Structure 1
Amino acid sequence: MTADKVTGVDTTLSHDEKEREGNPGECASKCARKANDALEDERDRHDDNLEDCRGNPACISAENARYQAAVNQIQEDRKHCIDGCHHQGGGRGRGHDH
């Protein structure tokens, strides 16, 4: 797994993690938990960064843009992770010959 380039937080699950989850619902729940944890960390980072701006409008604007990009990336990672859960197994079921 690689860490997200914007946030430094990895919200994806490895193939092995998905296999251990057992079913897509459990896998999706784990993806959501990881993303929610990443969002909470990002909110904390954002608050700290805004405080460090000390009212500087340019700093605040840049931080708000950075934060929005980070949140967007976490949401995209969540979607990608959950989409991957629905492709577990990859086998072809019997009785579906058409």
Structure 2
Amino acid sequence: MNKVSDVTDKDGLILARKLLAAALELDEDKIEPQSQIVELPGFDSLAYERLVASVEDHLDRDLDPLMMVSIDTVSDLAIALAQHKT
């Protein structure tokens, strides 16, 4: 995926941090763009399910499972959100 600096819509990063913070019950300021999602404090299978549900709710559609498994970092999630805006 592209680097987050390539994303013209920085709202994707803001949204990614917000969704992750809610799913992980973590402060947004502790979530850096380059962070590996699976290494964030509180990440587990339940947090992953909450994140997927939040992304689906935001996009108002079911996700392609391959989309989520291709996302490794917070930046990747931001790019995916920006690319899949409704």
TM over 0.5, shorter chain: no
Structure with more relative contact order (C-alpha pairs < 8 Å, separation 6 or more): 2
Structure exhibiting the larger radius of gyration computed from Cα positions: 1
